[in-house]
Amino acid sequence: MIKLRRGIIDGIRAAKHRSDLYYYLQKAVELEHSTIPPYLTALFSLMPGYNDDIQKLIHSIVVQEMLHMTIDGNILIAIGGQPQINSPDFIPQYPGPLPMSIGGKDFIVGIEAFSKPLVLDTFMVIEEPEHPIPVKTLAVAAEEPEFATIGEFYDAVKKKIVELGNSIFTVGPDKQVLSWFPPNRLFPIVDCASAIRGIDIIVVEGEGTSSDPFQTPGNPAHYYKFGEIYYGRKIVRTPTGYAYGGDPIPFDPNGVYPMKPNPKLGDFKPGSQAYTRLAEFSFAYSSLLNALHTAFNGKPDNINVAIGLMYELKMLAVSLMQTPANDGTNRTAGPSYVYVDAKPT
Amino acid sequence: MSYLDSPRLIFSGFFQADVSTINNDVTSFNNATFSDLFQQLNFDGSWNPEGTGIFRLVNCRITGAQLGGAQITENGRDQVIGMALENADDHVFGKLVDLDPQQQSCSEIWGMGLRLTDSAGSTVFSGDYVTAAFINLWRRQQQDTAPNDQELAAVYQSVLNRVQWSGTPSSAALKALQRASEDGELSINMNLYAYGRDPGIPRYTLGRVAGVIGPYRSGEPKHFVLGRQMVAAQGNGLSAVNGVFTFQAKVDAGRKALTADFGNSLQIVNADGAFVDVGPLAMAVLKTRTDGVLTSVAAGQVAVLGQVAYRQPNWYQQTAGIQEFDYSADSWCVANIETYPLLLLGQQNGGNYNVLIQESLGGLYVRADSFVYRLEPNESKTVELYTTQYGKPISAAITFAPNNAMIGNAAPANVEPPDVATPADGVSYASALTTDGNGRAALNLTAGVMSPARPRGYIEGQVYAVGYQLAQQPAQTIMNMWNFISVLVFSPSDVPAQPTWYRNIQPILQQYANLYPIMSKHLVKLGDYDSVVEHLNILKLAFSLPIGDPNHMPVTRDLSASNRAMIMKWMSSPGHDGLPLKGEPATAAVPPPPMATQPTVQLVLEPIQQRGKTAFVLGLAARAKAKERS
């Protein structure tokens, strides 16, 4: 189960003023973002024409992580905060721990091509619910009491918001990012009720509910989607509960670009194709964070510019994954998610 | 004011032009004969089928500066030296766009933003690159360093607008440049060369750039310098007859200095960029006037301004080939340089100099500032033209006529590409104009409603080339072969009341899917209804952005307004199932055959050469000859 330091929860509970929540909501934005690079890389590493079902599943998860990041950002904006997105600190160091040391210092998340072990050992750990529903063939990890869960984290945020009351919502929808998702899932955060509705979307889409692995009928929560990918079958209800026993979700390992894990600029010879394209990718990724920062700091329409950058990033990632790493293996280069540029003064 | 004025910054480094190559062959636009094979690397010389279209600067740094007559090359003298010229970091990269497969010799940079950044990575100034096409394409590189090297080089001159400074810089050169750019604009010139096309080399899709940024004042031409024009005769395969290519220069009478730009005019040995040593080169003024092309002059006939320093180490990197010649000590020059022709002299032969290139005869010159246009049916656009004599505006008559010598190829030798510039009334314009006292005239280009609507059949629209020249000019005048106006006229079409996928939309989007697999394989399968519908919102956004937006779709800027309106209408008009109308298969109209085609030709090309600008030019020449014979 994904866990974070109990002290984080204590900190939320001790908040006296809306500004005391800024830090935690900023961390929530960072947390939701932190899963996107590893998921996207795994998605991009699947060649077109192969593993379509897996591609669709991962894509649906990544898009929801983007929604969750947006909701967290809007809540932070609504209570007067300013999401800080374009800085080196915004991004975890891959491979490395997630924000707030989620999963513990020893839980390391990297940038790798798709593989089943990656799904089981990393993605399913990230997404494991507070109370996983037993699914046949799946073991449940024991909870360690000194750690809190993501569910508890969001639960504490919700309780604190209710305690502080509607008066903490001071910044209106015109400063919030509200496009690209349907209005029933991305809506203005204007009071406790809307904030809580937003957080519930994050939790349910990520974890499901404590009694149902599906976020909506036929649409499993992230943890169970990754389970489907790992076990190679759709999750279905059985007379005794749930099982990965539905339609097959085949995996063809030939349809994965052989990407070198955790590529870094320093791994490649300056001036080589891999180096040049990797630098280009990191630059474009940094440009994306700049565009998002602008969108979340007063110019929500700039999200359209960010969307253009997201599409460009995919093209650049795919180009990288077709560029030989020239490291004596048959592996290819891949993306590196670092913030490469200082901001204008 | 231009990049040839002071102050100026010199930058040097690389560029990436990640162009897609399937569309280099016009027959690839024929959906009926398209094969997935065409999307494979190296098929028929397609050396980058999954190109993204991105154009960007790579590792460019300020390597020189010029301030008040002084050349600065060391950071210790001015902090600007070593600063990086970077791409914009808040939107996507710029894109490199051909006007049309049958006019690939004026590729434009769209949507590029540039920033100067200091050693901490902070932006000093930023600006948007005004869309510009390259000009003065020639065979500058004499030997391949890698297989399939692009030996042709060219130059981009444009303006950065919306220039924003982050405070007042401490560098003296930058302070002076900031003062000189009070209109929010700067002049920028980029010489591009040594472009690599072999997928196996580090330089794949990269080339070298030597560039200059200087002051710009609004109201002046953006894409050439209102100055002295040295025009080279061109030989076979875009070589320069005397090994030195067309360049421009400017006299500053106040400072008594001539500034000449050799940045795109001297041959290089190979992709490393070292100059071919052609012996001493000297700038000079001819002391008599002539209406003839000179091959040599006696030493006594010229005032030599100075040697071109191209053989000095690091000269090109630190100057981008721009050199000043101080003539203040020569009283004849002081009195006469503005009314007598400039020459570039080569080796001396027993008291005579070889003349390698000379100023346009009589000092007379005409130039269209922008020279690439897209026109919707019935649309008019204005071309700004300038006439000068010895760099000074004069009132003169200009004549206009079709000049199709450099457009129309882009097909394998054994097929018959559609003919261009037909029907003749696709674009109309005055046959003559006279510039005003400021040497300026505006030519209206007006598109017709072409009949047939698709004169080229499987590819929409038609390309035209409008030649221009001075009505009165010496008979021996050497024209710059690139001085013509390229026009893409879009095909007329009606937006149907209820466009459907099969009948109207798929034929258009399938063509893009065929030609640009980086998009169709990895982002949206444009030929597939389900994929398009799944990405409807992003497509609506991309198709609705203005042409100058870096995210404008299609990247190739070759979709007519009526087709765009039809696609937007289709996307926004759901049927009963809430989705855009699918219609019935096989209901699309079959494109007509081209109304005219060009002959097949014999061309001896390496397989890998078949989709490059050299092939384009050689094919043009061969087809022109074949036409003459027939």
Q: What is the pLDDT of residues A68-124, one digit of tens each?
A: 999 999 999 999 999 999 999 999 999 999 888 777 778 999 999 999 999 999 999
B215: DSSP letter: E
Q: Report the Cα–Cα distance between both ends of chain A, in Å, rounded.
A: 42
Residues B376 and B403 in one domain: yes
Q: Is B609 a residue whose pLDDT tops 80?
A: no
| Mean pLDDT on B488-516 | 97
CB contact burial B299-322 (16+ within 10 A = b; e otherwise): eebbbbbbebebeeeebbbbbbbb
Residues sharing a CB contact under 8 Å with residue A244, sequence separation 6 or more, in sequence order: A135, A136, A137, A138, A227, A228, A231, A232, A233, A234, A235, A236
Domain boundary (A203, A221, A256) is at A256
Q: What is the pLDDT, as a whole number, of residue B271?
A: 97
Residue B204 is classified by DSSP as B
B236 pLDDT above the threshold of 90: no
- pLDDT tens digits, one per residue of B93-148: 999 999 999 999 999 999 999 999 999 889 999 999 999 999 999 999 999 999 99
- Tokens linked to A260: 């070198």
CA dist A89 and A33 (Å) reads 12
| Contact yes or no for A309 and B92 at CB 8 A | yes
**B193 and B59 inside one domain:** yes
Q: Which two tokens stand for residue B456?
A: 């080229």
> Is the domain of B185 the same as that of B320?
no
What is the per-residue pLDDT for A140? 39
Of A180, A276, A287, the CB nearest to B537: A180
Å from A341 to nearest chain B CA?
6
How open is the CA angle B127-B130-B136, to the nearest 5 degrees?
A: 125
Looking at the fold, whether A269 and A160 belong to one and the same domain comes out as no
**B336 and B406 share one domain:** no
* Pairwise pLDDT comparison (B318 vs A345), residue with the higher score: B318
Give the number of domains in chain B. 4
B24 inside domain: yes
Q: Which of A229, A256, A283 is at the close of a domain?
A: A256
B144 and B69 fall within a common domain? yes
Is residue B355 assigned to a domain? yes
The residue from A230, A256, A282 where one domain ends is: A256
Tell me which chain B residue has its CA closest to the CA of residue A305. B91
> Are A286 and A264 contained in the same domain?
yes
Label residue B604 by pLDDT band (50, 70, 90): low
Chain B interface test: which of A311, A326, A343 (most B C-beta within 10 Å): A311
CB contact (8 A) between residue A319 and residue B52:
yes
Are A151 and A229 within one domain? yes
* Residue B370 sits in the same domain as residue B472: yes
- Please state, as a whole number, how many other Cβ atoms lie within 10 Å of the Cβ of residue B401: 12
Domain presence at residue B587? no
Question: Which range of residues forms the domain containing residue A222?
Answer: 3-256
Q: Measured between CB atoms, which of A305, A315, A341 is closest to B91?
A: A305
CA of B204 vs chain A CAs: smallest distance (Å): 7
Specify whether B371 is located in the same domain as B406: yes
Tell me if B474 is assigned to some domain.
Answer: yes
The confidence score (pLDDT) of residue A132 equals 77
Integer Cα distance of A171 and B344 in angstroms? 68
pLDDT tens per residue, range A9-40 = 999 999 999 999 999 999 999 999 999 999 99
Let me know if residue B610 belongs to a domain.
Answer: no
Let me know whether A193 and A272 are in one domain.
no
Both A262 and A247 in one domain: the answer is no
Burial of B617 (0-12, 13-18, 19+ CB in 10 A): buried
- Reported as a single tens digit per residue, the pLDDT across A218-276 is 899 999 999 999 999 999 999 988 999 999 999 999 999 999 999 999 999 999 999 99
Is the model more confident about B612 or about A297?
A297
B541 lies within 8 A of chain A by CB: yes
Range of the domain at B414: 363-489
**Do A252 and A242 belong to one domain?**
yes
Co-location of A248 and A278 in the same domain = no
Give the mean model confidence (pLDDT) for residues A182-188.
97
On the 0-12 / 13-18 / 19+ scale of CB atoms within 10 A, A327 is middle
Q: Flag if A48 and B117 touch (Cβ within 8 Å).
A: no
- Rounded mean pLDDT of B24-38? 94
* Radius of gyration over every alpha carbon of chain B, rounded to an integer in angstroms: 25
Which chain B residues contact residue A308 at CB under 8 A?
91-92, 542, 550-551
Crossing angle of helices A36-44 and A22-34, rounded to 10° = 10
Q: A21 and A43: one domain? A: yes
Q: Is B272 inside any structural domain? A: yes
What is the number of structural domains in chain A? Answer: 2
Tell me: do B330 and B257 sit in the same domain.
yes
Say which CATH number the domain at A7 has. 1.20.1260.10
- Regarding whether A204 and A287 lie in a shared domain, the answer is no
Asked if A269 and A150 sit in the same domain, the reply is no
pLDDT in tens, A157-171: 999 999 999 999 999
Q: Cα separation of B584 and B269, whole Å?
A: 59
Phi, psi at B440, each rounded to 5°: -120, 145
Shared domain for B219 and B349, answered yes or no, is no
Residue B247, in any domain of the structure: no
Both A113 and A20 in one domain: the answer is yes
Domain boundary among B296, B326, B359: B359
Q: Are residues A191 and A202 in the same domain?
A: yes
Q: Is residue B132 part of a domain?
A: yes
Are both B98 and B211 inside the same structural domain? yes
Nearest residue of A to residue B119 by CA position? A342
**Do B89 and B156 belong together in one domain?**
yes
Which residue is listed with tokens 């494991």? A128
CATH number, position B394: 2.60.40.1740
Instruction: State the pLDDT at residue A183.
Output: 97
Residues B96 and B169 in one domain: yes
Q: How big is chain A by its Cα radius of gyration, in Å?
A: 20
